[in-house]
Structure 1
Amino acid sequence: MINFNYETDFLLAAEASISKWITEVIATEGCTLEEVNYIFCDDEYLHKINVEFLQHDDLTDVISFDYCVGKHIQGDIFISVERVADNAKDFNVSFNDELCRVLVHGVLHYCGYKDKTESDAKLMRAKEDFYLSKRV
């Protein structure tokens, strides 16, 4: 089950199609969806989480809390829509494209992909691009 929660005025358009797409990503990666909660928020909300739980005093677009057991996918993915909007401008892409990249990025972490090294980040980006091209 995929749930969408809102801690800001933002509302995701096409929740059903996004949910279907993310479910297909998880299945394609050979994993089983248990429960993923997306929480959309603003910079201030996500900054507090970043400081409290990760001891990082900076802004970020996404933080995920992984509760997966093996290939059974479960977790909470917090997304700052303010950061996504700023990043979309910086990367010269649409807000929707950048938002979908962040949505799939969090789930790919749950499927076992990392992005701390240059080679891991390159693979993560390739996977993001692949699944973005499969979006409905």
Structure 2
Amino acid sequence: MIRFFNEDIDYKLPHKQKTRQWLTEQAKQEGYRIGELNYIFCSDEYVLQVNRDYLQHDYYTDIITFDQREEDDKLEGDIFISVERVADNAKQLNITPELEMRRVLAHGLLHLCGYGDKLDEEATAMRQHEENWMAVFPA
């Protein structure tokens, strides 16, 4: 079950049901099923505080993913997304905020699938997977 929540910001994800189906199908393509997966939309400040409290990082980021799975093939976790950071990234990339949000949603799920992005080669592979997933979002 994929659920979407707002924490300290008012955000309405476009195409919720399509997005759930798309994420579920992409996880399946990676060999996983979805358990309880929560996307929490929030502000820059909220994500910064989560970053400080749980990861001891003192910087802004667009997404933080917490893996809470209990079974190897079942994805479960909480994914915090800064709506403000996503909007800023979209401006810099000259794309719509909706498109950038979709990429970030995929990014969080890819982390749960085991993909990293700390090393250059990991980031390249992550970006390629994001692009592949984006290309199959239902019309």
State the TM-score bracket (shorter-chain normalisation).
over 0.9
SS at match of 1:11: coil
Partner Cα distance (2:26, 2:66) in 1? 18
- State the 1:118 CA deviation: 0.8
- Could you tell me which amino acid in structure 2 is paired with residue 65 of structure 1? F
Q: In the alignment, what sits opposite 2:108? A: 106
Spell out the pairing of 1:112-123 with structure 2 (5 A cutoff): 112-123=114-125
* TM-score with structure 2 setting the length: 0.95
Spell out the pairing of 1:30-41 with structure 2 (5 A cutoff): 30-41=31-42
* TM-score with structure 1 setting the length: 0.97
SS at match of 1:47: helix
Spell out the pairing of 1:32-111 with structure 2 (5 A cutoff): 32-68=33-69, 69-111=71-113
User: Deviations along 1:20-78, whole A, 9 cap, x unmatched?
Assistant: 00001100101111111000001111111011111111111000100123121000000
SS at match of 2:58: coil
- State the 1:114 CA deviation: 0.9
User: Deviations along 1:1-35, whole A, 9 cap, x unmatched?
Assistant: 00000111111121111100000110010111111
Alignment of 1:6 with 2:21, yes or no, is no
Aligned-pair Cα RMSD in Å? 0.8
Whether the 8 Å contact between 1:71 and 1:111 is mirrored in structure 2 is no
Whether the 8 Å contact between 1:42 and 1:82 is mirrored in structure 2 is yes
- Could you tell me which amino acid in structure 2 is paired with residue 61 of structure 1? D
Partner Cα distance (1:58, 1:91) in 2? 21
Spell out the pairing of 1:13-28 with structure 2 (5 A cutoff): 13-28=14-29
User: Which aligned segments of 4 or more residues in structure 1 are displaced greater than 2 angstroms?
Assistant: none
Whether the 8 Å contact between 2:40 and 2:79 is mirrored in structure 1 is yes
Whether the 8 Å contact between 1:77 and 1:106 is mirrored in structure 2 is yes
Q: Which residues of structure 2 form unaligned runs of 5+? A: none
- Could you tell me which amino acid in structure 2 is paired with residue 14 of structure 1? H
Partner Cα distance (1:14, 1:101) in 2? 14
User: Deviations along 1:54-109, whole A, 9 cap, x unmatched?
Assistant: 11111110001001231210000000000000000111111111100000000011
